[in-house]
Amino acid sequence: MTATYDCIATTTLSSAAASVTFSSISGSYTDLVVVIQATWTTSSNDMYIYMQLNSDTGSNYSTTILSGNGSSALSTRFSDRTNMNMDYSATIVYNQPTQRNINIMNYSNTTTYKTAIWRSNRAGSGTDAMVGLWRSTAAITTILFDLESGDFASGSTFSLYGIKAE
Amino acid sequence: MSPVYKLSANSVRNGRTIYGSMLAGNTAFVFPSFESIATVTVGSGGATDIEFTSIPGTYVHLQLRGFLRTTSGDQLRLTFNNSTNNYRSHYLEGTGGGVLAGSESDPRINIYAALPSAASTFSGTITDILDYANTNKTKVVRALSGWDGNGSGYVDLDSGLWNDTTAITSIKFAPSAGNFAQYSHFALYGIKAAS
């Protein structure tokens, strides 16, 4: 039996930042897991978090969403996007930490498109289950998280883990 | 506690190093809590089913992480210990346009939205099998699964019950139709509690 579930990198913001990037990701794991607990710097409104892979700005991303907002459930999707929406009801806000557990499956294979599946939660607004596709066969070496606008607040944490199958 | 002395080749010249801990300056070993048990990657001929056998009872929970595709079909079917009795499962599904919910019973647990058939598109399927070795509890499964095909796709939350207190020692996965396609990847992990 091989021990596996390594912390590859962690970023805790000491000041507000428009984006967080994990780069030079080793291809030695099977899956990646990113855990995000973040808030937004702006006290009004709310905002989507986006994920972009290998700096690809093409319209190669899509997501399917199952979301509950406290009174109803819905499902929708985004297609041909230039990044992946990481939330729908559980958007990021000023004073309530939102949490995401993002699983990026078989991220380093160079044969298939890449699938990510995750949960996003914010107690004050809702909960989401989401799956995303990146239509590329490239191994993922860089992951960028940013926002529709504004900054992640100081204290927001982003942790990247690698899981290795035997 | 008595002091701990650490001697090295340089100790004759530099003297011994004294520590207040048996670790003597070393980092404490932490037993791993998440271990890879077995992995299967489907070859070019496809596979009608995948089975993990002789699963040790030394963990608290199991997690199956799948990157899956099929030649047809949609659901991933689980059976334990070759039993076809006492199963129940529920699902909550997002279709991209609406929300569905339903349930299934014998002869297996169904995990929905786990098996796309579109070219190059694979699902993410994460299935936790809780307290699988406990002979005082019936067995509970939960899963997060889904696939996206850029304009199509599903995402699901699934729960399952095997109403049996037998320790799980084998798990068989099969598609609801067709075969598992090439490059489908099943990885079984064991999760330990703190020792």
Over the stretch A29-70, which tens digit does the pLDDT of each residue have?
999 999 999 999 988 889 999 999 999 999 999 999 999 999
**Model confidence at B192: pLDDT above 70:** yes
C-alpha B186/C-alpha B184 separation (Å) is 7
Residue A10, in any domain of the structure = no
**Model confidence at B195: pLDDT above 70:** no
> Å from B101 to nearest chain A CA?
11
- Tracing tokens 């702006």 back to the chain, one arrives at A42
Average pLDDT of chain B, as a whole number: 91
Give the pLDDT confidence score for residue B133 in this predicted structure: 98
For A126-150, write each residue's pLDDT tens digit.
999 999 999 999 999 999 999 989 9
Average pLDDT of chain A, as a whole number: 95
Q: Does A28 touch chain B (CB under 8 A)?
A: no
CA-based nearest residue to A129, from B145, B113, B67: B145
Average pLDDT of the residues in B8-14 = 67
Give the pLDDT confidence score for residue A108 in this predicted structure: 97
Give the pLDDT confidence score for residue B119 in this predicted structure: 86
CA-based nearest residue to A123, from A69, A51, A42: A69
ipTM of this model?
Answer: 0.94
Domain count, chain A: 1
**Model confidence at A151: pLDDT above 80:** yes
Residue A138, in any domain of the structure = yes
Residue B117 or residue B25, greater confidence: B117
Residue B75 sits in a domain whose CATH number is 2.60.120
Confidence of residue B118 (pLDDT cuts 50, 70, 90): confident
Average pLDDT of the residues in B161-184 = 97
Range of A77's domain?
A: 17-160
Cβ contact, residue pair A63, B148, below 8 Å = yes
Domain shared by B10 and B42, yes or no: no
Question: What Rg, from alpha-carbon coordinates, does chain B have?
Answer: 23
Give the pLDDT confidence score for residue B139 in this predicted structure: 98
Range of B171's domain?
A: 31-191
Give the pLDDT confidence score for residue B137 in this predicted structure: 97
For residue A67, the cross-strand partners are A74, A128
Residue A103, in any domain of the structure = yes
Longest dimension (CA), chain B: 77
Are the beta carbons of A11 and A143 closer than 8 angstroms? no
Residue A5, in any domain of the structure = no
Residue A137, in any domain of the structure = yes
The SS3 call for residue B122 is coil
pTM across the whole model: 0.91
Interface test with A, best of B29, B42, B148 (most A CBs within 10 A): B148
CA B177 centroid distance within chain: 22
Average pLDDT of the residues in A15-19 = 97
Give the pLDDT confidence score for residue B194 in this predicted structure: 78
Domain shared by B12 and B103, yes or no: no
Domain shared by B20 and B102, yes or no: no
Selecting from B35, B94, B125 the residue whose C-beta is nearest the C-beta of A66 gives: B94
**Model confidence at B145: pLDDT above 90:** yes
Domain shared by B19 and B51, yes or no: no
**Model confidence at A158: pLDDT above 70:** yes
Residue A67 sits in a domain whose CATH number is 2.60.120
**Model confidence at A105: pLDDT above 80:** yes
Enter the tokens of residue A7. Answer: 């912390």
> Å from A152 to nearest chain B CA?
27
